[in-house]
Amino acid sequence: MTEYGLIGFPLVHSFSKKYFTEKFERENISAVYKNFEMESVEGLMRLIAEHTDLRGFNITIPHKQAVIPLLSKMSDGVREIGACNCIKVSRSAGGEVSLSGHNTDIIGFMDSIRPLLQPHHTKALVLGTGGASKAVVCGLRRLGIIPTLVSRHKGTDTLTYSDLDEQTLAEHTVIVNCTPLGTFPKVDTCPDIPYDYIGERHLLYDLVYNPEQTLFMQRGEAQGATVKNGLEMLHRQAEAGWTIWNSDND
């Protein structure tokens, strides 16, 4: 049976395994999705050799950078942000293995936020500077939106939360939360931004999806902003991975 899977450590909870297992059952696809818990990627090629029916897998922390030297090919997104979360496994007639690396977080984010964008959404504040923010920044640029990072620490091209005044929020009408603030069970927390300066022209997008409506979203919606959580982004990136694994191209 065709196999797909998730590589990471630890794998206490896996959105991907649940999503694809349900997809395979719903669509009568003869395949299985497995969790492959690995502390390092040193044994990855051996695992692929042993699982001859493995056609593709997702990569989660802490291996999104470590797998890059193992890739035969990589997408522009992987090259741009230095992180890979989706690999297609190709095998030649002689059994030679080729790995093609992609970043479906970029695709998932773009596909999810695109329907909500308006002509005045030309600049964005990206809250947080972790791995997720790199995919968001890349996606925003591809959508023609100028991103500005916001962090607790000042940087060359990074604002601090105390820099966010009325004028800054008036100019940046898209705000994307890439921090874990507000995630269950700490649902009473949210990014420290001046919500009073948010209005109807703003779009607040939260990568957090549990709870369904975070405090960040609640406070934005109370000011008239359009809000959205990150659940559809997860679904979209999962489907993007499925398309990559089953494409004739690498």
What is the C-alpha to C-alpha distance for residues 210 and 34, in angstroms, rounded to an integer? 23
On the CB side of 22, how many CA atoms lie within 13 Å of its CA?
A: 9
Q: Which secondary structure element, helix H or strand E, spans residue 61, and what is its range? A: none
- Please name which of 126, 108, 103 lies closest in space to residue 205, comparing C-alpha atoms: 126
Count the Cβ atoms, other than its own, within 10 Å of residue 213.
16
DSSP H helical segments within 93-188, as ranges? 104-113, 131-142, 166-171
Residues noted as catalytic: 64
- β-strand pairing of 123-127 with 146-151: parallel
Cβ neighbours of residue 24 closer than 8 Å, sequence gap 6 or more? 30, 31, 32, 33
Q: Which secondary structure element, helix H or strand E, spans residue 58, and what is its range? A: strand 54-59
- Please name which of 118, 149, 115, 141 lies closest in space to residue 233, comparing C-alpha atoms: 115
219: left (phi over 0), alpha (psi -120 to 50) or beta: alpha
